[in-house]
């Protein structure tokens, strides 16, 4: 299987269970690995034979910067579903990581994140 990786897309959203998260918002990073057969696209050099990185970025942006969810698990699930629906034939599987670099948690840590995998990987 071949993979398209789109790493560390950064957006600003209002997801969380705490009031300050839904009022002030915060940064989110999204990393994707998309399982897709890239051989034909490599041979034809035609964008229509693969997955458009720009379109996938826009899908992620609309979800992260759109409707607020309480859980980043829900954000990840909606991203996975939307990308698979946009490319139902090409996308065999997807791994989505949603990262909160600065959640309002007391203590020392680099970030908190969830990672989900849907489909064949």
Contacts of 81 (CB under 8 A, 6+ apart): 118
Token pair recorded at residue 66 = 């759109």
**Is residue 100 among the annotated active site residues?**
yes
The answer to whether 80 touches 107, Cβ cutoff 8 Å, is no
Catalytic residue among 7, 67, 92, 100: 100
The answer to whether 110 touches 57, Cβ cutoff 8 Å, is no
Catalytic residue annotation: 100
């Amino acid at each position: 299987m071949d993979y398209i990786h789109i790493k560390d897309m950064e957006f600003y959203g209002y997801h969380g269970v705490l009031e300050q998260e839904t009022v002030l918002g915060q940064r989110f990073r999204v990393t994707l690995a998309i399982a897709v057969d890239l051989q034909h696209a490599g041979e034809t050099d035609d964008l229509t034979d693969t997955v458009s990185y720009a379109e996938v970025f826009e899908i992620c942006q609309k979800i992260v910067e759109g409707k607020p969810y309480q859980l980043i698990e829900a954000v990840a699930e909606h991203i996975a579903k939307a990308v698979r629906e946009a490319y139902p034939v090409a996308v065999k599987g997807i791994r989505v990581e949603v990262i909160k670099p600065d959640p309002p948690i007391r203590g020392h840590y680099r970030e908190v994140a969830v990672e989900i995998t849907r489909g064949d990987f």
